[in-house]
Structure 1
Amino acid sequence: MKYFPLAKFKYVTHSDEDPRIVTEKEYQQRLNSYTTQKTALFPLLTYRSEEQTSEYPIFFLPLPHILDLAEQFRLNSKRIQKIAGHLPPIAISQFLNSLLIAEIFYTNEIEGVKTSQIEIGTVIQENNLIAHRQNNVSKRRLGSTIKLYQKTQHGKPIHISSLHDFRAIYDILLKGEITADRLPNGQIFRDQLPNGEALTISSATKVVHRPPASESKIQQALTTLITFMNDDYMPALFKALITHFFFENTHPFLDGNGRMGRYLLSSYISSKFDRFTGFSVATAIHANVQHYYKAFIEADNAENRADLTFFIESLLDILVSQQQENLVNLRQSMAELDNAKQKIRQWIEHHQAHFPERTSPELVGQVLFSLAQSKLFSYQTVLGIRDNEIIDNNKQKGFAKAQTRRAIDYLTTMNAIKLTSAKPKQHEILIV
């Protein structure tokens, strides 16, 4: 028999018994199956009548399609890492920065928060350029947000072991993004609202969920979540998706919960699988936003009794689809980079007899190859590699600063590259 949500099960079963009894029997069979993955997380679920319950523990059944999707996710992650392992550092950095622009843009877009991709790219560059300074965060909007993602990009995973860790992440991630009247009104999280107002999550036509009303209830819920997050009894991928649901179900803040929930998912996937997939979470969700919200609505429905089977299946579908798109883009860019290498070699062979003094073919090749990586793996001009970065990279390879500048000037006069920014200086390759 096809696996149906418990809320619909009574309509599809053929039995003379009371539908409530039939549904209860099915629930017990699912919950106590040998293959069921069960947790000690008890979300606050809402009935259609708007009555609520937290008596059901989160569980899911690893159905064949879910196991297939999970295996596809892991294989895609390995394929992505294998391709990345053959890419030069500039190409990897540029591609990750391009993904990061989209990730920040779309996580805000989902919430109706307007940002500019050029603005985000500018902040990424500023944060990179001042990374060695004591105050190494851009003062522009989203400087703090982007810095947090960049720490993940550079292999610094977050660790949550206390309730205050949630708040610390929230304060950094959403610095300057939350209006004063929507900042947490409790000791750590939100608390009861004045005048008996209830925090609700609504669709276009009705209330679909009311999260816990008091900070004490939030603290209880997130304390159990911390235990779950730091326990390794469940496979990492399933744990990440369940954590995402439970955090959003608890909704511990007045504003910014969606952005923080997606950041937590992004950071966890980046550390456990690969950064390319981790930095595509919001992009994937934005492309399937109605599917995403429908999965939450069904999971929040008390009639489904905290069965997250369909929620996990839906999110895996969304993430695997985005991985496949990333693989296509990486393979295409890698093929273009191989073609660019050939064009650069041919250009050098044709022109090297007229190179300026102390300008070797190796040096010219390094400059052109750096610019080719930047052009092919960056989807925003603002992210393009700057002359000073090329100079610093070449210095590590034994080329003096003056030599690299001379090579850049020569290539500009030969129309192999062109100046795209005077301050800071930045060039674009023209021969690929």
Structure 2
Amino acid sequence: MKYFPLSKFKYIVRSNDDPKVITENEYQHRLNAYTVQKTPLFPLLSYRSEQQTSKYPIFFLPLPEILSLAEQFRMNSKHIEEIASHLPSIAISQFLNSLLVSEIFYTNEIEGVKTSKIEIGTVIQENNLNANRKNSVSKRRLGSTIKLYQQTQYGKPIQINTLQDFRKIYDTLLKGEITPDRLPNGEIFRDRLPNGEVLTIGSATKGVHRPPASEDKIQHALTALIEFMNDDHMPALFKALITHFFFENTHPFLDGNGRMGRYLLSSYLSSKFDRFTGFSVATAFHAHVQQYYRDFIEADNADNYADLTLFIQSLLAILVNQQQENLITLRQLKDELDDAQGMIQDWVTQNQTTFPKNISAKLVGQVLYYLAQSKLFSYQSSLGIKDNEIIEKNKRKGIAMAKTRRAITFLTEASAIKLISKKPKQHEILII
């Protein structure tokens, strides 16, 4: 039998019993099933009558479809890591930067916040170029937002052990993005609104969910969430998706909850699985945004008794689909890079007699290979590797700065590369 939401179950079963009894019996059957996964989290759920309840604990049943998707997710992550292990460092960093551009763009787009991919790419570059300085965050809009993601990219997972940790992340992630009237009005989170106003999540014409009204209730909910997040009894993938739902259901801030919730999911998946998957969360949800909204509406419905089975199944399917797209792209780019390496070797062999003195074929090939990785794996040319980065990489290998500069000058004069930016200097390969 197909697994139906409890809100619809009474319409499926043929029985003369009271529909409420039918639903209650099925709920107890699911909640006490041998394989059920229960949590200590009690979300605030809403009935159509606008009455609310928080008496139901979140649970889900690991259906065969869910277990299959979870296994597929883990295998996809391993395949992604396997391909990445055969890619050079520049290719990896450029591809992650490209994913990050889309991730920031789409997490804002879901909320109706307008940004441009070029703007995001510029900030990524500025943060990267300033990485060795004490205050390494771009002063442009989204500078601190992108820096937080980049810390995840560089292997610095977030730790949430106290309620204040949520606020610290929020302040950094959304610095400059929240208007003064929408900043938290409580000690840490939002509190009761003035004039008896009620916070409602939904469209301008239809409310979908009313989260906890007071900071006391928010703190109580998130204290339970912290304990759940730091408990390793539940598999990480399921825990991540449940946490995503519960954070959004609690809605601890007046604005920015969606962006923060997706960041938390992104960071967690990056640390537990792979960064390519983690940096594709908002991209995946944006591609299925109407389904994403429907999943939350159903999960917030009190008539579903906090059963997140179908919520987990749906979000897993969306994430697995995005992983498969990433796999296709990575395999294709790896093949193109292998072809480019062959083209570079051929060009070096054919033109070796024209190289200046003290400029080896190895150095010329190395510069071209750096630029090939940059061209193939960058979302936009402005995100590509800069001349000073090439010089610095070679310097760490014992190659004098002057030699790398002469190699770049020669390749430009030989029309193997071209100058595409003067400040900072940046070249693009032409022979692939």
* TM-score (structure 1 length as normaliser): 0.99
- Residues 68 and 204 (structure 1), Cα distance of their counterparts in 2 relative to 1, 3 Å cut: farther
Using the TM superposition, give the Cα deviation of residue 380 of structure 1 relative to its aligned residue in structure 2, in angstroms: 1.0
For residues 17 and 180 of structure 2, the distance between their equivalents in structure 1, rounded to whole angstroms, comes to 55
Does residue 280 of the first structure (1) align with residue 280 of the second (2)? yes
What code does the residue aligned with 2:295 have? A
Residue in 2 that maps onto 1:384: 384
- In the alignment, which residue of structure 2 is the partner of 1:42? 42
2:334 counterpart SS class:
helix
**Match of residue 255 from structure 1:** 255
Q: Give the match for residue 84 of structure 2.
A: 84
2:175 is aligned with what amino acid? K
**Number of matched residues?**
432
Unaligned runs of at least 5 residues, structure 2: none
Q: CA deviation at 1:417?
A: 0.2
Instruction: Give distance in 2, aligned partners of 1:392 and 1:314.
Output: 46
Is 1:26 the counterpart of 2:26? The answer is: yes
Q: Distance in 2 between matches of 1:110 and 1:75?
A: 28
CA distance in 2, matches of 1:141, 1:33: 50
Q: In structure 2, what is the equivalent of residue 414 of structure 1?
A: 414
Q: CA deviation at 1:205?
A: 4.5
Q: CA deviation at 1:123?
A: 0.6
Q: Does 1:197 align with 2:197?
A: yes
Structure 2 residue 394 is the aligned partner of structure 1 residue 394: yes
Which whole-Å CA distance do the structure 2 matches of 1:32 and 1:251 have between them? 29
Deviations 1:290-340 (A, max 9, x none): 000000000000000000001001100110000000001100000000000
Structure 2 Cα separation of the partners of residues 62 and 313 of structure 1? 9
Residue type of the alignment partner of 1:368? L
Where does residue 233 of structure 1 map in the other structure?
233
SS in 1 for 2:420: strand
Separation in 1, partners of 2:239, 2:90: 33
Q: Per-residue displacement from partner, 1:55-97 (whole Å, max 9, x unpaired)?
A: 0000000000010000000000000000000000000000000
SS in 2 for 1:55: coil
Give 1:224's aligned amino acid.
A
Q: Which residue of 1 aligns with 2:168?
A: 168
1:220 and 2:224 matched: no
Once residues 100 and 8 of structure 1 are traced to their aligned partners in structure 2, the CA distance between those partners, rounded to angstroms, is 39
Distance 2:64 2:380 in 1: 40
Post-superposition offset of 1:154? 0.2
In structure 2, how many angstroms separate the alpha carbons of the residues matched to 1:423 and 1:209? Answer: 50
In the alignment, the residues of structure 1 paired with residue 43 and residue 203 of structure 2 have an alpha-carbon distance, to the nearest angstrom, of 19
Q: Which residue of 1 aligns with 2:54?
A: 54
3-state SS of paired residue (1:62) = coil
Equivalent residue number for residue 304 of structure 1: 304
| In structure 1, distance between residues paired with 2:273 and 2:202 | 33
Secondary structure in structure 2 of the residue aligned to 1:221: helix
Q: Does 1:153 align with 2:168?
A: no
Aligned to 2:107: 107
The match for 1:142 is: 142
Residues in 1 aligned to 2:147 and 2:293: alpha-carbon distance in whole angstroms: 28
Distance 1:165 1:354 in 2: 60
Q: Which stretches in structure 1 are left out of the alignment for 5+ residues?
A: none
Q: CA deviation at 1:398?
A: 2.0
Cα distance, 1:399 vs structure 2: 1.2
Q: How far apart, CA to CA, are the structure 2 residues paired with 1:178 and 1:354?
A: 58
How many Å apart are 1:204 and its aligned residue? 6.1
Structure 1 distance, partners of 2:317, 2:8, is 22
Residue type matched to 1:7 in 2? S
**Per-residue deviation, 1:411:** 0.3
CA–CA separation in structure 2 for the residues paired with 1:32 and 1:203: 36
Q: Secondary structure at the match of 2:107?
A: helix
Distance in 2 (CA, whole Å) between partners of 1:298 and 1:325 is 27
Q: Is the partner of 1:149 in helix, strand or coil?
A: helix
Q: Which residue is 1:129 aligned to?
A: 129
* SS at structure 1 position matched to 2:426: strand
TM-score, normalised to structure 2, is: 0.99
Q: State the distance in 2 between where 1:69 and 1:362 align.
A: 46
Partner of 1:63: 63
Identical aligned residues as a percent: 76
Deviation at 1:50, TM superposition (A): 0.7
Within 2, Cα distance between the matches of 1:356 and 1:51?
80
Amino acid at match of 1:111: E
Please report how far the alpha carbon of residue 202 of structure 1 lies from its aligned counterpart in structure 2 after TM superposition. 1.4
Quote the offset at 1:40 in angstroms.
0.6
Distance 2:70 2:315 in 1: 11
- 1:113 and 1:15 map into 2 onto residues whose CA distance is 49
Q: CA RMSD in A?
A: 0.6
* Secondary structure of residue in 1 paired with 2:418: strand
